[in-house]
Amino acid sequence: MCIRDSVMGAISTPTPETPPVPTSTPDPDPVLSGEITLEVDATGNYFWVGVHAGDFNFDYEYIGVCEPGLTQTYGLDVPDGDWNVICVVYMDGIRFEGPPLNGDQAGNHGALYPAWPSGTTVTISGGAPVTADITVVQVFDNVSGTITMPQAQPGNEYAVFLDMDAFETDGGEMAYVTGICGLNNKIEYSFLAAVPGNYFIYAVVDNTGDGLYNDLNPPDGSGVDAGDYLGFYGGSGINPPAAPLAIDNSQTYVLDFDVAEVQP
């Protein structure tokens, strides 16, 4: 699973994903295991441990349900290699994967959030067992702003993204927020930028009524439809800025921008 898969899956997918039946019993003989120390009790909520090679493509993951107390355990089989291990505790009792949202708990092995390791922190060699403990803390929205539309679009869907790419469909989305436009031409948004990096921030408003999922996943790769709105922080019209914005996840940002109508 990559971040984009879970982000896109949250946006009006035709067939919503069914949560798995999780278990809080780790693999009895895991290669990678550890304890997760929580900041606040999350009894009954899902937690997720993802393993990636520095690219945020999580090929190995563990999903469990928090038991009473501030310590949880996990265990899974991971092949030899150099890895990063992160954990998200979803505090709404519904989500079981995807980027952390406001009020969730998150952390990574090798650094205490909001710090992130500069490289991989776990090396597995010869299948020898490795322990990677993780401390998670509550995380809160740190990016917010106002988006101005050419005119009000009451009832239409919108989405705002934090993306390593400039509206490309090959992945890179690290955070998002969706909603329904109100009676005026303003959209107030906020989301959590959990991972420091260089990002484009952009918004799409579905004025044509075919759904955001279709706009963002067109069969021909054409992107949003003519008549929809698209815009980038720091951009011009529907065009992105020349360079992404550096985001420090320990800071807060107010990023206002406009969207414009996509022409045929």
| Domains of the chain with CATH codes | 3-138 (no CATH), 143-261 (2.60.40)
The pTM (predicted TM-score) of the whole model is 0.82
Q: What is the pLDDT of residue 30?
A: 87
Sign of CA dihedral 60, 46, 145, 227: positive
pLDDT above 70: percentage of residues in the chain: 83
Query: Can you tell me the distance from the alpha carbon of 29 to that of 252, in angstroms, rounded to the nearest whole number?
Result: 42
Average pLDDT over residues 9-14: 41
Strand-pair partners of 231: 203
247 bridge partner residues: 197
Q: Which amino acid is at 59?
A: D
In this model, does residue 6 exceed pLDDT 50? Answer: no
- 48 pLDDT more than 60: yes
The letter for the amino acid at 121 is T
